[in-house]
Amino acid sequence: MRRSRVKNTVTHAVLVVASLLAIFPLFWVALASFKNNRDVIDPVTQAFDFVPTAANYVSLFGTPAFVGSALTSVLITVISTLVVVALATLGGYAFARLRFPGRRLLALVMVIVQIIPGIVLIVPLYRLVSGIGLYDQWLPIAVIMAGLTLPFATWLMLAFFQNAPLEIEEAALVDGATRFQLFRHVLIPMVAPGMATAGIFTAIAVWNSFLIPVVLGQSNAETLTVYVAQFVTFQDVNWGPLCATAVLILAPIVLFVLSMQRSLVKGLTAGSLK
Amino acid sequence: MTSTSTIPAVRKHPLPDRGATRRGARARRARILSLGYVTPTWILMITVGVIPTGYAIWMSVTDQSLTASSPDFVGLGNFVASVFTPAFLSSLGVTALFVVAGLLIQFTVGYLLAVLIHRQLRGFRIARTVLLVPMLLTPVVVGLIWQFMLSPGLGVITTFADLFGWHLNVFADPWSARLVVVLIDSWMFIPFVMLMLSAGMTALPEEPLEAAAIDGASWWQTTRYIILPMLRPVITITLLVRCVDAVRLFDVIFATTKGGPGTATQSVSMLTYTTTFQFYQFGYGAAMSIAVAVLMIPVYFIYIRLTRI
- For residue B7, the chain A residue with the least C-alpha distance is A270
Q: How far is CA B13 from the centre of its chain?
A: 29
A218: left (phi over 0), alpha (psi -120 to 50) or beta: alpha
pLDDT digits (tens, 9 = 90+) for B170-206: 888 889 899 999 999 999 999 999 999 998 898 888 8
Asked if B295 and B88 touch (Cβ cutoff 8 Å), the reply is no
> Could you tell me how many helices (H) and strands (E) chain A has, helices first?
13, 0
Residue of A73, A80, A119 to mutate for B, most B C-beta atoms under 10 A: A119
Residue of B nearest to A94 (CA): B37
Structure confidence at residue B12 (pLDDT): 43
Contact in structure between A146 and A86 (CB atoms under 8 Å): no
Q: How far is CA A158 from CA A83, A89, A96, A110, B138, in A?
A: 17, 8, 6, 13, 27
**What is the rounded end-to-end Cα distance, in angstroms, of chain B?**
21
How do residues A117-169 score in pLDDT, each as one tens digit? 999 999 999 999 988 989 999 999 999 999 999 999 999 999 889 888 888 88
Of A90, A117, A268, the CB nearest to B195: A268
Contacts for A238 with CB less than 8 Å, ≥ 6 apart: A37, A231
Look up the ipTM and state it. 0.90
Give the distance from CA A51 to its chain's centroid.
Answer: 34
Beta-bridge partner residues of A237: A232
Measure B86 CA to nearest chain A CA, in Å: 20
**Does the pLDDT at position B280 exceed 80?**
yes
The pLDDT-based confidence of B81 (bands split at 50, 70, 90) is: confident
- Name the residue in chain A with its Cα closest to that of B160: A44
Average pLDDT, rounded, for chain B:
85
**Among residues A216, A127, A144, A112, which one has the least CA distance to residue B285?**
A127
Long-range pairs of B271-276 with CB within 8 A, sequence gap ≥ 24: B271/B87, B271/B88, B271/B91, B272/A119, B272/A123, B273/A119, B273/A211, B275/B82, B276/A123, B276/A126
Amino acid at A233: T
Amino acid at B3: S
CB atoms A261 and B52 under 8 Å: no
Closest-CA distance of chain A to residue B89, Å: 17
pLDDT one-digit tens code per residue, B249-275? 999 999 998 887 888 999 999 999 999
Does B66 score more than 80 pLDDT? no
Give the pLDDT mean for B11-28: 56
Q: H or E segment at B147? A: helix B139-149
Average pLDDT for A57-84:
94
Rounded Cα distance, B96 and B175, in Å: 14
Size of interface A-B (CB pairs under 8 A): 322
pLDDT, position A236: 73
